[in-house]
């Protein structure tokens, strides 16, 4: 049985230098030594009366910025910022930067970033309160501030979805694995969840075992399930267009797993499925790009899985990875790169392929097998499952610092992580 079929069986049975340049654009001094970061001391300051909401927001913003491993973060609270003497006191206390947050009930949060040495404001911005979750407001503030500090896009407002095999539930959590919530309980088995790309109506689509097939169901933030695709065989791994109206998915009702494009025909007032692949192999893990092209995994050429690029207008298919044993592709629009799992010296490792340079880079090097990788919205982090003996956990790799962080506990078995886009209104299970 070849590697892709083993992967399918598993599915159905179970850049420091660029950061330095960006930091210079904002005139903020961040030093790097290889993969090691010299953390910049920063204070998050709550301005005004210390309400529970302001305290909660400042603590979460500090946690978010500290999670990047670029800042040494502390928090303080002041009634106002009338004097430069306060800035100078922070500078004397070796706080190079101050992020000041003031709650304006009518306008949201007024946020200002200062360099304390000269008490000079780098940038001021306003972040509205969208939704009713205070930590969601805080994540939005951190997302707005991070580009000012580093030149990198924020990712804190994204959500993770994964299968929690210990709880027998499909769960969602914040970017760092905190605030886990059960989206839906698992009654049989679920696999390969995928977020849609609708910023206003977040939803997860996941494959679910039935007595007759593996169907695709949609789960909303109220914990309700809806049948999405119920053909014979496999119905799985949907990938959405940016407007959410089209998708590509895997179906096997005509034999081996093939890729199909779905769209709704207004003229005929019906769902339209168009077959995209016509080979004898297994075609899985499609990614629908904004230009309509598709990245996917297949073993149709030599019986071993590789990553392919389908140029739909040209009606051609290009093989991207020449070595075999590559599965689980995930595409990052922010960096135009693909992350995937590759068998290397007997271990399933995370690799990154740059579509611009056509070069491959190995990301992980330890002896534990990796499965199902997914990008953050900013393109600086990759999450994946780490399978090390009886342990199966979700881990996050920071591409800027090369730091690996486990975000689920060692005594909880988790698999199939998928990262959403960054939301304006932070989604939670209601």
Q: What is the pLDDT of residue 236?
A: 97
DSSP 128: -
Beta bridge partners of 203: 220
Domains of the chain: residue spans and CATH: 3-14+156-419 (2.120.10.30), 27-31+38-150 (3.40.50.10070)
Q: What is the pLDDT of residue 245?
A: 83
Give, for 140, the enclosing helix (H) or strand (E). Answer: helix 134-150
Contacts of 122 (CB under 8 A, 6+ apart): 26, 27, 28, 113, 114, 115, 148
Q: What is the pTM of this model?
A: 0.90
The alpha helices in 14-83, defined as continuous H runs, are 16-25, 52-67
Distance CA 18, CA 23 (A): 9
Other beta carbons within 10 angstroms of residue 270's beta carbon come to 8
Q: Is 165 helix (H, G, I), strand (E, B) or coil?
A: coil
Which residues, given as ranges, of the chain have pLDDT below 70?
1-37
DSSP string, 195-241: E-S-SSS-EEEEEEE-SSEEEEEEEETTS-EEEEE--SEEEEEEEE-
Q: What is the pLDDT of residue 37?
A: 54
Q: What is the pLDDT of residue 10?
A: 40
User: Using an 8 Å Cβ cutoff, are 47 and 100 in contact?
Assistant: yes
């Amino acid at each position: 049985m070849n590697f892709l079929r083993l992967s399918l069986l598993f599915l159905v049975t179970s850049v420091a230098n660029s950061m330095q340049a960006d930091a210079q654009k904002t005139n903020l001094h961040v030093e790097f030594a290889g993969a090691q970061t010299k953390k910049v001391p920063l204070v998050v300051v709550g301005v005004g009366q210390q309400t529970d909401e302001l305290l909660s927001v400042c603590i979460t913003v500090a946690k978010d910025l500290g999670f990047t491993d670029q800042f040494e973060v502390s928090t303080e609270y002041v009634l106002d910022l009338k004097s430069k003497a306060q800035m100078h006191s922070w500078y004397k206390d070796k706080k190079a930067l101050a992020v000041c947050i003031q709650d304006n009930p009518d306008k949201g949060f007024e946020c200002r970033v200062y360099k304390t040495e000269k008490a000079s404001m780098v940038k001021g911005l306003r972040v509205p309160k969208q939704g009713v979750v205070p930590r969601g407001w805080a994540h939005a503030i951190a997302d707005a501030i991070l580009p000012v500090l580093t030149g990198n896009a924020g990712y804190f407002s994204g959500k993770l979805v994964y299968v929690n095999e210990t709880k027998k539930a499909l769960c969602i959590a914040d970017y760092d694995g905190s605030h886990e919530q059960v989206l839906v309980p698992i009654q049989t088995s679920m696999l390969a969840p995928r977020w849609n790309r609708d910023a206003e109506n977040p939803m997860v689509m996941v494959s679910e075992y039935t007595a007759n097939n593996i169907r695709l169901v949609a789960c909303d933030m109220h914990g309700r399930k809806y049948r999405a695709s119920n053909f014979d065989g496999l119905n799985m791994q949907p990938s959405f267009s940016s407007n959410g109206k089209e998708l590509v998915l895997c179906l096997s009702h005509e034999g081996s797993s093939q890729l199909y494009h779905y769209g709704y025909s207004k003229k005929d007032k019906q769902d339209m499925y168009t077959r995209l692949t016509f080979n004898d192999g297994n075609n899985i893990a499609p990614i629908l790009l904004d230009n309509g092209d598709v990245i996917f995994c297949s073993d149709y050429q030599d019986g071993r899985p590789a990553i392919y690029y389908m140029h739909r207008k040209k009606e051609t298919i290009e093989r991207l990875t020449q070595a075999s044993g590559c599965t689980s592709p995930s595409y990052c629009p922010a960096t135009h790169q693909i992350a995937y799992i590759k068998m290397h010296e007997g271990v399933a490792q995370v690799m990154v392929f740059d579509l611009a340079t056509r070069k491959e880079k190995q990301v992980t090097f330890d002896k534990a097998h990796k499965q199902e990788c997914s990008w953050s919205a900013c393109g600086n982090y990759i999450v994946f499952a780490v399978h090390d003996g009886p342990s199966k956990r979700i881990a996050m790799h920071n591409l800027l610092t090369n730091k690996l962080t486990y975000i689920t506990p060692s005594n909880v078995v988790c698999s199939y992580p998928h990262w959403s886009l960054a939301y304006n209104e932070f989604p939670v299970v209601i």
